[in-house]
Structure 1
Amino acid sequence: MNASRVQSFFAGMLVANSAPHIATAVSGRRHLTPLAGRDSGPVTNGVWAGLNLAGGAALLLAARKGKAGVRWDRDLVAFETGYLAFASWMALSERFFPMNSE
């Protein structure tokens, strides 16, 4: 697997991780983050979401470096696979080992 696909895969994972933290920040709830633990509030979740989005964007820029054209190549599939893998893992882990619900 080439480097841009690996970068795109991990970018997808980071972007997927940002989604529940954005939802938490917007809805004013609490959600686990590595920044403040299980009781992380909306502001902390907003910061964590931003860090994940920034990391994902940086990886996508790195994956794009040196490539010509404006259309996606197989990096899009790698990005989507990373997103799906992380979102699926989180949904299943939250279902069977809840960390963010009572």
Structure 2
Amino acid sequence: MGSSRVRSFLAGLLVANSAPHLASAVAGRQHLTPLAGRTSGPAVNAAWAALNLAAGAALLRWRRPTGSRWDRDLVSFEAGYLLFACWMAGTERLFPTNWDREGD
């Protein structure tokens, strides 16, 4: 696997990680982050989402000529995104870390 595909895969992971944090920020909910733990509020989630999205974008732009087509890098990006999304859905189902325990 070429280095651009590895970067694309990692970018997919980071962009996928930004999505639930961005959703938490917009919805005004708490969501676990490494910045403030289990009680990370909307502002912390917005910051964590922005960091992940910026890092993913940087990986995609690093040494990539503009205007060129995606080729196999797009599949690598999508695989990274899909893997992370599936992992998060599975772990949240089995180990409900971000659930309101009193509301169950």
TM-score class normalised by the smaller sequence? over 0.9
Give unpaired runs (5+ residues) of structure 1: none
Distance in 2 separating the partners of 1:75 and 1:29? 34
Deviation at 1:71, TM superposition (A): 1.6
Measured against aligned partners, the alpha-carbon deviations of 1:15-38 in whole angstroms (never above 9, x if no partner) come to 000000000000000000000000
* Aligned pairs for 1:33-72 within 5 A: 33-62=33-62, 65=63, 67=65, 69-72=67-70
Q: Normalising by the residue count of structure 1, what TM-score does the alignment of the two structures yield? A: 0.94
Aligned partners of 2:26 and 2:40: how far apart in 1?
13
CA distance in 2 between partners of 1:61 and 1:25 (Å): 26
Q: What is the alpha-carbon root mean square deviation over aligned residues?
A: 1.2
Residue 28 of structure 1 aligns with an amino acid whose one-letter code is: G
In 1, distance between residues paired with 2:42 and 2:66?
A: 40
Q: Secondary structure at the match of 1:21?
A: helix
Structure 2: which amino acid aligns with 1:99?
T
Correspondence 1:84-99 to 2 at 5 A = 84-99=82-97
Percent identity of paired positions between Structure 1 and Structure 2: 67
Tell me how many residue pairs correspond in the alignment: 100
- Are residues 18 and 68 of structure 1, via their aligned partners in 2, closer, same or farther at CA, if it must alter by over 3 Å? closer
Partner in structure 2 of residue 5 of structure 1 = 5
Runs of 4+ in 1 over 6 A off after TM superposition: none
